[in-house]
Structure 1
């Protein structure tokens, strides 16, 4: 079954990103329409799968699979089936007008950094781990909001779908209580989901402003990340480390940059998530029904951090 979410036309890429898509993702612009049509035809034949059929949504999976139709099918199936394995993130609060979601956005816990139109680099998100009230929110609530913007990114951020994305975890002001609240197994579980199911390519997770007192202990948390993702993680106490990842002129003044303020970003993000109200309401009905699955799941379980039933496998920590 396919959702009724409105179909969009294909958004043309900038010249620079189109070059990257052709050279690195095997994109053939003249073939995009037929590839999307092939995915839709496949989805129509999957009784167990209720999926968004927006053209840009499906295109993100094609790009994330370097235009292998079979891999794109696996990703879409995994995208929805693995969400069931993380119910603390993917639940009834995952709505644009949920008070908890809006409060987290307004606190500036998650900041989507806008890039220039001619930039061909990865999309950038800053997560301010010490900026929320531990007595009011759990880390899973923060990840939930991040996952919502991850899907918005899939739909409309060409830098993300072509060049991937970076996450900057700002640990300013964190305490031992904050680190405990990070829920390392959840962080590991969601990282595995992002790697196995999300079509946008994660280019790195960079922890900055890590208090010296926690630096050694914090690095031990890296054992919770899947191996491939662990290689993309860095930890630093240097306040200047952010400039190694993001040019100053992209950052708000609170981070030493010149591009507006954090409040400018927050206001833009609140407006953006509001514009996706219908999408997230319908997303409550997207997913898989394993009782209706006619063929074995396409994904090879030995390659996954999730077991046959979709439950997360406990990682062995060195």
Structure 2
């Protein structure tokens, strides 16, 4: 079972990223269309899956699986299957015009940093962990908005699809209330989702401006990350540590850069979010239905890092 939102638009890569895709992701440009068609045909034969079927969506999973069709099938299945294990994030508020989502975007808690056109490095997101009122927002609300921009990123950010992405968690202004609000188990589950199901590759999580109390307590928080992610996490109290991860010219003025202001980024993010309004409305109907899953060798064992087994989003079937 699947939707019919097909698109024939395959965005060409710039020369440097195309070279990386060929050398590191096994991409064969002349074969992309046929690989997408094969993956789409498989999805259309799966009675338990209702998936986005646009070319760019499917291409992101092919690149995230180094063009192994079997791995791409597995990852898309897990993408929709594991979402139901995180209802705090994937719920009815995950819409472009949800008032809470818009308020979080306008506060600049999450900043998607625009890179130069010829930059071949990973995509960059800054999360300003101390910039929200924990009495008004829960950590899961912030993660929800981050997941929406992560989904937009995987469909249209070529750096993220080819070179991966990094997250900078700015701990400036963080209070004890912010630290208590971090919800380590949710952080653990969402990190596992990002590792197991997202097609974009997480290259690092870097904490900057970390208070001493956080640095000393980080060892216990680190235990909640999947093993692969643990190796990609760093913590620093130095605000200049951001320059080790992101070129200064790509950062807004508030971070010592020269590419506009945070408000410029916020305005662009809001416009981008609204351009995906129909997509997020439609995505409410994407998911898996265990009752319709065919238990054969072609389908996927649903064990995961956080122990999900046999739990699926139910679809309303007209």
Classify the secondary structure of the residue corresponding to 1:240: helix
Superposed CA offset, 1:161-187 (max 9, x none) = 000000001111011111110001000
Match of 2:139 in 1: 139
**Residue matched to 2:306:** 305
Using the TM superposition, give the Cα deviation of residue 219 of structure 1 relative to its aligned residue in structure 2, in angstroms.
3.5
- CA RMSD across the alignment: 1.3
Partner of 1:85: 85
Alignment of 1:68-107 (within 5 A): 68-107=68-107
Partner of 1:271: 271
Deviating above 2 A after TM superposition, structure 1's stretches of 4 or more consecutive aligned residues are 295-307
Report 1:278-293 matches (<5 A): 278-293=278-293
Q: Normalising by the residue count of structure 1, what TM-score does the alignment of the two structures yield?
A: 0.95
| Number of corresponding residues | 311
Q: Which residue of 2 aligns with 1:117?
A: 117
Separation of aligned partners in 2, 1:145 and 1:51: 21
Contact 2:290 2:311 in 1 (8 A): no
- 5+ residue gaps, structure 1: 312-318
Q: Over residues 224-258 of structure 1, what are the superposed CA-to-partner deviations in whole Å (9 max), with x where a residue is unaligned?
A: 10111010011111111101000110000100111
Q: Give the conservation status (yes or no) of the 8 Å contact 2:48–2:291.
A: yes
Deviations along 1:67-118, one digit per CA (max 9) or x if unpaired, are: 0000000000000000000001000000000000000000000000000111
Given that 1:210 and 1:236 are in contact with CA atoms closer than 8 Å, whether structure 2 keeps it comes out as: yes
* Conserved? CA contact 1:5–1:282, under 8 Å: no
**Residue number in structure 2 paired with 1:316:** none
- C-alpha deviation, 1:214, in angstroms: 2.5
CA spacing shift, 1:299–1:47, aligned 2, 3 Å: closer
Gaps of 5+ in 2: 313-318
TM superposition score normalised by structure 2:
0.95
Within 2, Cα distance between the matches of 1:196 and 1:310? 16
Structure 2: how far apart are the matches of 1:299 and 1:219? 34
**Superposed displacement of residue 307, structure 1:** 3.0
The aligned counterpart of 2:194 is 194
Residue 18 of structure 1 pairs with residue 34 of structure 2: no
Deviation at 1:309, TM superposition (A): 2.6
Residue of structure 1 equivalent to 2:215: 215
Residue 145 of structure 1 aligns to a residue in which SS? helix
What is the rounded CA distance, in whole Å, between the counterparts of 2:136 and 2:305 in structure 1? 33
The equivalent of 1:32 in structure 2 is 32
Shift of 1:5: 2.7
Does residue 66 (structure 1) correspond to residue 66 (structure 2)? The answer is yes
Say if 1:47 and 1:302 are closer, same or farther in 2 by CA, change over 3 A: closer
For residue 27 of structure 1, report the CA deviation from its aligned partner. 0.1
C-alpha distance in 2, partners of 1:19/1:198?
22
Q: Which moved more, 1:2-11 or 1:13-22?
A: 2-11
**d(CA) in 1 for partners of 2:278 and 2:304?**
35
Taking a change above 3 Å as real, the CA distance of residues 285 and 56 of structure 1, as seen in their structure-2 partners, is: same
1:2 corresponds in structure 2 to 2
